């Protein structure tokens, strides 16, 4: 096996062996409140870890004037129709599309959904 291929396999094995980071409500609130580089994060999807046994991701979306209107949405990695089963709350986030916004349902951790629905 070539050295580069062996290195890639070793890195994949290490990544697969690491358990996902367990996130608390406090971790989620802190992450959601931090500023982020809109240009660098535009279009990305990042796995943050697990919260109450469910994978949490952050997606960064934009519509018309990018990257200025890049929006970060932190949510469980499950479809809205399965949200009740993981203890989440469906939130209709306003997502930029072209020159407008439209509501898109996401399954969010309750601690973050409570902030949106206030």
pLDDT digit string (tens) for the chain, length 118 residues: 445 555 555 555 555 556 789 999 999 999 999 999 999 999 999 999 999 999 999 999 988 788 988 999 999 999 999 999 999 999 999 988 877 889 999 999 999 998 765 4
55 neighbors 20 (Cβ within 8 angstroms): yes
Beta strands in the chain (DSSP E): 45-51, 54-61, 71-76, 89-97, 100-108
The pair of structure tokens assigned to 92 is 């209709």
Look at residue 78 and tell me if it is in a domain: yes
pTM for the whole structure: 0.80
Residue 4 forms part of a structural domain = no
62 occurs within a structural domain: yes
Say if 5 falls within a structural domain.
no
Segments forming the whole domain that contains residue 39: 20-116
Nearest alpha carbon to residue 113 among 21, 32, 24: 32
Count of structural domains within the chain: 1
Is residue 76 domain-resident?
A: yes
Q: For the sheet containing 54-61, what is the strand order? A: 45-51, 54-61, 71-76
């Amino acid at each position: 096996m070539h050295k580069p291929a062996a290195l890639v396999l070793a890195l994949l094995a290490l990544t697969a062996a690491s358990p996902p980071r367990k996130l608390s409500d406090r971790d989620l609130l802190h992450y959601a409140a931090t500023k982020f580089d809109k240009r660098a994060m535009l279009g990305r999807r990042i796995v943050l870890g697990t919260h109450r046994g469910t994978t949490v991701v952050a997606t960064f979306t934009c519509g018309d004037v990018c990257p200025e209107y890049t929006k970060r949405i932190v949510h469980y990695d499950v479809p809205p129709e399965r949200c009740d089963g993981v203890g989440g709350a469906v939130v209709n986030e306003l997502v930029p599309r072209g020159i407008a916004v439209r509501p898109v349902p996401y399954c969010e951790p309750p601690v973050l959904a409570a902030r949106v629905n206030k």
